[in-house]
A and B are shown apart, each in its own frame.
Chain A
Amino acid sequence: MTEEPTPGQRVYRHSIAARTAHWLWTLAMLVLVMSGLQIFNAAPYLDASYKTDPQHRILAFDAEMGPNNQPVGTTTIFGHTFVTTHLLGFTADGSGGESPRAFPASITLPAVQDLADGRLWHLFFGWVLLLAIVLYLVAGAIRKDLREVILRPSDVPKLLPMQLYYLRLRPAPPPHGKYNPLQKAAYTLVLFVFIPLIILTGLALSPGADASLPWLTWVFGGRQFARTWHFILMSILIVYFCVHMVLVFMNGPLNNILAMITGWYKLGKNDGVGV
Chain B
Amino acid sequence: MKRKLFVATIAASTLSACSTDAKNQLTNTFRNQLGLAQKLNQTVIGTRGMARLYRESDINEPFRVNGLPTPTDQRYEDAIRDGYRGYRLPVDGLVERPHTFTLAELRAMPLQTQITRHDCVEGWSVVGKWTGVQLATVVAMAQPKPTARFVVFHCFDKDDSGTEYYESLNLHEAAHPQTLLALDLNNKPLDPDHGAPVRLRIPTQLGYKSAKWVRRIELTDAFPNTLLAKGGYWEDQGYEWYAGI
A interface, CB within 8 angstroms of B: 39-40, 42-44, 50-52, 62-65, 71, 99-101, 110, 112-117, 119-121, 123-124, 126-127, 203, 205-214, 217, 223-224, 227
Contact = CB atoms under 8 A, between A and B. Distances in A.
A211 B5 contact: no
A160 B17 CA distance: 53
**Which of A62, A119, A207 has the most C-beta atoms of chain B within 10 angstroms of its own C-beta?**
A207
Interface in B1-41: 1-2, 5-6, 8-10, 13, 16-17, 22, 25-26, 31, 33-38, 40-41
B56 interface: no
Contacts of B124: 43, 52, 224
Contact of B37 (A51, A71, A127): A127
13 contacts: A42-B122, A43-B120, A51-B60, A51-B127, A113-B16, A114-B17, A114-B238, A116-B234, A120-B31, A121-B34, A124-B35, A208-B41, A223-B119
Given A51-B117, A123-B38, A206-B45, A112 B22 contact: yes
Nearest to B178: A211
Nearest to B10: A42
B5 A40 contact: no
Contacts of B58: 51
Contacts of A212: 45-46, 48-49
Contact of A123 (B52, B64, B119, B245): B245
B1 A64 contact: yes
Given A207-B51, A211-B49, A223-B117, A63 B37 contact: no
B25 A209 contact: no
Interface residues of B, number: 55
A94 B125 CA distance: 28
B151 interface: no
B62 interface: no
A201 to B, nearest CB: 13
Nearest to B30: A120
Given A113-B9, A211-B47, A211-B49, A120 B34 contact: yes
A52 B125 contact: yes
**Which of A119, A205, A223 has the most C-beta atoms of chain B within 10 angstroms of its own C-beta?**
A119
B103 interface: no
B224 interface: no
Contact of A62 (B2, B26, B119): B2
Contacts of B121: 42, 115, 119
A211 B34 contact: no
Given A123-B245, A223-B117, A110 B26 contact: yes
Nearest to A44: B6
B203 interface: yes
A64 B38 contact: no
Nearest to A207: B119
A100 B12 CA distance: 11
B102 interface: no
Nearest to A61: B6
B50 interface: yes
A114 B125 contact: no
Given A52-B125, A120-B34, A124-B37, A99 B9 contact: yes
B204 interface: yes
B1 to A, nearest CB: 6
A64 B3 CA distance: 8
